[in-house]
Amino acid sequence: MVGGGQLARMTHQAGISLGVDFRVLAASAGDSASLVTGGVTVGDERGAPDLLAFAKSCDVLTFDHEHVPEPVLRELEEAGAVLRPGRDALGFAQDKLRMRTRAEELGAPCPRWRAVTTASHVEAFADPAQGGTGWPVVLKAARGGYDGKGVWVVRDADEAAGVVARAAAAEVPLLVEELVAFERELAVQVARSPYGQIAVYPVVETVQRDGICHEVIAPAPGLDEDKAVRAQELAIELAHALGVVGMLAVELFETAGGVVVNELAMRPHNSGHWTMDGAVTSQFEQHLRAVLDLPLGAPRTTAPFTVMANVLGGTDPDVHGRYIHVMAKDPALKVHFYGKEVRPGRKIGHVNVAGDDYRDLLERARDAAAYLKGDQQ
Amino acid sequence: MVGGGQLARMTHQAGISLGVDFRVLAASAGDSASLVTGGVTVGDERGAPDLLAFAKSCDVLTFDHEHVPEPVLRELEEAGAVLRPGRDALGFAQDKLRMRTRAEELGAPCPRWRAVTTASHVEAFADPAQGGTGWPVVLKAARGGYDGKGVWVVRDADEAAGVVARAAAAEVPLLVEELVAFERELAVQVARSPYGQIAVYPVVETVQRDGICHEVIAPAPGLDEDKAVRAQELAIELAHALGVVGMLAVELFETAGGVVVNELAMRPHNSGHWTMDGAVTSQFEQHLRAVLDLPLGAPRTTAPFTVMANVLGGTDPDVHGRYIHVMAKDPALKVHFYGKEVRPGRKIGHVNVAGDDYRDLLERARDAAAYLKGDQQ
Cα angle vertex B82, ends B338, B264, to 5°? 55
Mark yes or no for CB contact A16/B21 under 8 Å.
no
Establish whether B140 is an annotated binding residue.
Answer: yes
Contacts of A336 (CB under 8 A, 6+ apart): A10, A273, A276, A349, A350, A351, A352, B17
Smallest CA-to-CA distance from B372 within B354, B340, B357, A296 is with B340
Averaged pLDDT for residues A151-167: 95
Mark yes or no for CB contact A295/B16 under 8 Å.
no
- pLDDT, one tens digit per residue, over B314-357 is 998 888 889 999 999 999 999 999 999 999 999 999 999 999 99
Min distance A2 CA to chain B CA atoms (Å): 17
Averaged pLDDT for residues A257-271: 95
Residue B375 confidence class, pLDDT cut points 50, 70, 90: confident
Min distance A331 CA to chain B CA atoms (Å): 4
CA A234 – CA A108 distance, rounded (Å): 7
Mark yes or no for CB contact B302/A302 under 8 Å.
yes
Question: Shortest CB distance from B339 goes to which of A19, A300, A303?
Answer: A19
Residues in chain A within 8 Å Cβ distance of B324 = 294-295
Residues in chain B within 8 Å Cβ distance of A37 = 36, 38
Establish whether B177 is an annotated binding residue.
Answer: yes
Mark yes or no for CB contact A332/B298 under 8 Å.
yes
Give the nearest chain A residue to B297 (CA atoms): A331
* A15 pLDDT more than 60: yes
What percentage of residues in chain A have a pLDDT greater than 90? 93
- pLDDT, one tens digit per residue, over A205-249 is 999 988 888 999 999 999 999 999 999 999 999 999 999 999 999
Mark yes or no for CB contact A328/B38 under 8 Å.
no
In b/e form, how buried is each residue of A57-80, taking b as 16+ CB within 10 angstroms? ebebbbbbbbebeeebbebbbeee
Min distance B295 CA to chain A CA atoms (Å): 5
Give the nearest chain A residue to B8 (CA atoms): A16
Averaged pLDDT for residues B163-190: 96
Averaged pLDDT for residues B39-47: 95
Residue B376 has what pLDDT? 57
Partners of A83 in beta bridges? A61
Averaged pLDDT for residues B299-305: 98
Residues in chain B within 8 Å Cβ distance of A328 = 295
Domains of chain A: 6-83 (3.40.50.20), 112-178 (3.30.1490.20), 184-373 (3.30.470.20)
Question: Shortest CB distance from B13 goes to which of A13, A327, A332?
Answer: A13
CA A363 – CA B2 distance, rounded (Å): 40
Residues in chain A within 8 Å Cβ distance of B201 = none
In the sheet with B113-116, reading across from the earlier edge strand, the strands are: B113-116, B174-178, B137-141, B151-154
Mean pLDDT of chain B: 95
Establish whether A263 is an annotated binding residue.
Answer: yes
Establish whether A96 is an annotated binding residue.
Answer: yes
* A376 pLDDT more than 80: no
